[in-house]
Chain A
Amino acid sequence: SQQGEEDPQALSIQEGENATMNCSYKTSINNLQWYRQNSGRGLVHLILIRSNEREKHSGRLRVTLDTSKKSSSLLITASRAADTASYFCATALSGTYKYIFGTGTRLKVLA
């Protein structure tokens, strides 16, 4: 699998429910970031969690990082139709300044 691989590939939920997406990676990282992409548009940065952090919150977003398992999760609480988008994790590899993006999770929130 690729560095920064998201799971599931697609997720469909009702408005008001929580959405959880997972990301796995392979090598040592400096930080891990989550981005959102609305259909056919550029990516928007959501949250950054550093390798020495375990959990971070931003509004309705909660991100966890488990470096021992090389995995992260993004939780969106009380989802809204406007949250419908693709979500990508990106890992900033230690020792380089390259970012490795996963293939994304397509989230659909039904009104």
Chain B
Amino acid sequence: DVKVTQSSRYLVKRTGEKVFLECVQDMDHENMFWYRQDPGLGLRLIYFSYDVKMKEKGDIPEGYSVSREKKERFSLILESASTNQTSMYLCASSLGLAGSRGSYNEQFFGPGTRLTVL
């Protein structure tokens, strides 16, 4: 079974703090994703990575950055947390295609991190 783990289930931070959300998958997946989920808005893609050190912006990348130094780990960074970044953050991974920038396979999600910025 694919396992996607996220570093924290709940996190409370103050405005202006730098926040790191970590995601690790154990199935050697090429693709990894960060989403945020807000009531009434569904899931929105923040960033996507299809290989180590490769990343693409999603629909709402402003205020976020990502890091993928190892295949199994994808980090989301809030450079200076703001209250409008209070949300549920979901990480996902999927199998890619060798030599391709991504794939259309099913995604496996982590349990989510509920971040509150005060």
* Chain A residues proximal to chain B, CB less than 8 Å: 2, 4, 30-31, 33, 35, 40-45, 48, 88, 90, 92, 96-104
* Chain B residues proximal to chain A, CB less than 8 Å: 4, 31, 33, 35, 40-45, 48, 50, 58-59, 88, 90, 92, 101-112, 114
Nearest B residue to A102, CB-CB: B42
Q: Classify the secondary structure of A's interface with B.
A: strand
CB proximity of A5 to chain B, nearest CB, Å: 9
* A42 B104 Cβ-Cβ under 8 A: no
Report how far A35 CA is from B45 CA in the complex, Å: 16
* B110 A42 Cβ-Cβ under 8 A: yes
Give 8 pairs: A residue, B residue, CB < 8 Å, sorted on A.
A33-B106, A35-B107, A40-B112, A42-B92, A43-B107, A101-B42, A101-B44, A104-B42
CB proximity of B108 to chain A, nearest CB, Å: 7
* A41 B112 Cβ-Cβ under 8 A: yes
* A31 B42 Cβ-Cβ under 8 A: no
Report how far A43 CA is from B108 CA in the complex, Å: 8
